[in-house]
Chains A and B, each alone.
Chain A
Amino acid sequence: MLVRLENVGKRYGSGAEILQDVTVTLDPGGFYFLTGVSGAGKTTLLKIIYLAERASRGIVTLFDTDTATVDRQMQASLRRRIGIVFQDFRLVEHLSVRDNVALPLRIAGAPEREIRENVPELLGWLGLGDKADLRPATLSGGEQQRVAIARAIVRRPDLLLADEPTGNVDDEIAMLLVRVFERINRLGTTVLIATHDVAFARQFAHERFHLEQGLLSAVGGEEAP
């Protein structure tokens, strides 16, 4: 299994638990939606998976490694196997689109030759070929989102987490983005997309988890006729 959460709870300070007894398994090659209204804890759950937050209780296993025991170096190593599309994109403003997308490759120590070959190809694939030298601030929201997706998938991660990737785009583009994720998934990457839009997620025959008042339930695959 790729990701396993067992009885995971999360609370900030002495407040109420945002996540309660969350138990979920993500298998290699799977494609999952995580739905729930805004504030349901979707982002927190994703943060626990990509190790930006620690669970208050429970066991989080990532790539067969118990994350409670990992040191900083191991934590970085696990994160390099995950691609993340942040809700607010989190692009590095002073870097060009090309250098933003190249970041995971450079962090992994990929040779510049590989970066010069792969990054333009990926940007072209996502319709950003002519934006490579621009800074993120000069792009539209949809374009920034595609840059964030390109950065998340450029290393063909084992796990791709996307937090509200369809939140800022119209239905047509949202559909297109999911198709992009499906193509990545077919290459072997496990995909987990968090969205508040239940109706949108229901259009696809992918397994779905629903988060409500901190409790997670499996809904199963369903596709609109």
Chain B
Amino acid sequence: MIGAMIGARGIAPRLDLPFGRDATGRFLPWIIALMVYLAVLGGVGLMLLGDTLRDWNRSLSTTLTVQLPADASAGRIETAVAALKQTSGVASVHLLSPDETARLIAPWLGAGVAVDALPLPHLVDLHLDPSADVDLAGLRQKLTEIEPGAELADHRTALTELHGFAVRVEGVIGTGVGVVAVLLVLTVVFSARTGLAIHQPVVDILHLLGAPDRYIAQQFQTHALWLGLRGGAIGGIVAAATIVVLGRAAGAISMPLPIAAPGLLDWRMWALLVATVVVAGLVAMVTARATIARRLARMP
């Protein structure tokens, strides 16, 4: 199918210049395909990273986990839970049952492991009132007084570090996509200049027949749009296949992933893919037009 698209001259627009005979028409779609492929994957990566950050913000900024030692007595656990419930700003308190704790660690240990035999700590989930300013230092001290081995895990510190890291990753991906866009522009500029040199004899005839510069530029821009859309479609199809493969591979992993996996029914991803293909075509078109118009304007 991809080969047919590259050679799809039957549905190509009718143009006065023999673009089908020059090499630029052969290599440009492949270069654009590669760029669209990288841009789509980068864009999807950015999207998933953004989703992950939002999930982390939503779930971690208002939750805390209290960890009580495995050998803590039932009385101390009960006292600690009661103290938590009385703390101002705590919306809900949930002591995880041994089964719930076992399910949490099952992905790492695998099925069939007798978790009852392991010295697992007692976990308490706290949900905070988002608008409340909870005195965590005081709460931590209170818990230590009840049970010296108690630990209060504040996810917000880790979240801040993760957020900083994720923002840097976003920056790297965004820069990569930007570099791809610049390369696309440079490639089209080079291709358009080469095309103008190759087709100069026919361009001269068109000029002598009264063709204004914009008519000549239109020939190149239509050709570039066609190549851009063809190359973009190829890159988009391969990117879609990659996303499907990665999505299925991610779905097959039983462990929770640190980043959101590509959801194949997520319309945003497919909209991003289509938009990237269209934008690649438009960038190619506008670049070719501007390049040729500037070159022609310099002619005597």
In the complex, whether B297 has a CB less than 8 A from a CB of chain A is yes
Q: Are B16 and A76 interface neighbours, CB within 8 A?
A: no
- Near A by CB (< 8 A), chain B positions 28-67 give none
Q: Are B209 and A73 interface neighbours, CB within 8 A?
A: no
Q: Are A80 and B21 interface neighbours, CB within 8 A?
A: no
Q: Say which one of A99-107, A126-134, A172-180 lies at the interface with B.
A: A99-107
- Near B by CB (< 8 A), chain A positions 118-170 give 151
Report which of B208, B209, B297 forms a contact with A72, defined as CB distance below 8 A: B297
Q: Are A80 and B210 interface neighbours, CB within 8 A?
A: yes
Q: Are A107 and B208 interface neighbours, CB within 8 A?
A: no
Question: Please, how many angstroms separate the alpha-carbon atoms of A176 and B154 in the complex?
Answer: 99
Distance (whole angstroms) from the CB of B29 to the closest CB of chain A:
20
In the complex, whether B215 has a CB less than 8 A from a CB of chain A is yes
Q: Say which one of B139-147, B185-193, B199-207, B242-250 lies at the interface with A.
A: B199-207
In the complex, whether B212 has a CB less than 8 A from a CB of chain A is yes
- Near A by CB (< 8 A), chain B positions 204-223 give 205-213, 215
Q: Please name all residues of chain B whose beta carbon is closer than 8 Å to the beta carbon of A78 when the two chains form the complex.
A: 210
Q: Are B212 and A76 interface neighbours, CB within 8 A?
A: yes
| With A94-B18, A94-B21, A103-B16: A72-B213 Cβ-Cβ less than 8 Å | yes
- Near A by CB (< 8 A), chain B positions 3-25 give 14, 16, 18, 20-21
Q: Number of A-B pairs whose CB atoms are under 8 Å?
A: 54
Interface size classification for chain A: 20 to 34
| With A92-B202, A94-B18, A94-B21: A84-B215 Cβ-Cβ less than 8 Å | no
In the complex, whether A206 has a CB less than 8 A from a CB of chain B is no
| With A92-B16, A94-B18, A94-B21: A107-B211 Cβ-Cβ less than 8 Å | yes
Q: Are A79 and B208 interface neighbours, CB within 8 A?
A: yes
Encoded as 1 (CB less than 8 Å from any B CB) or 0, chain A from 70 to 110 comes to: 00110011111110101000101111000100011011100
Report which of B21, B208, B213 forms a contact with A52, defined as CB distance below 8 A: B208
Distance (whole angstroms) from the CB of B184 to the closest CB of chain A:
28
Report which of A73, A82, A90, A99 forms a contact with B212, defined as CB distance below 8 A: A73
10 A-B pairs (CB sep. < 8 Å): A72-B212, A72-B213, A77-B212, A79-B210, A80-B209, A84-B209, A90-B205, A90-B208, A94-B21, A107-B211
Beyond the given pairs A90-B208, A92-B205, 13 more chain A to chain B contacts, judged by CB atoms under 8 angstroms and listed by A's residue number, are: A52-B208, A72-B213, A73-B213, A76-B212, A79-B208, A80-B209, A81-B210, A84-B208, A84-B209, A92-B18, A104-B209, A107-B206, A107-B209
* A→B interface (CB under 8 Å): 50, 52, 72-73, 76-82, 84, 86, 90, 92-95, 99, 103-104, 106-108, 151
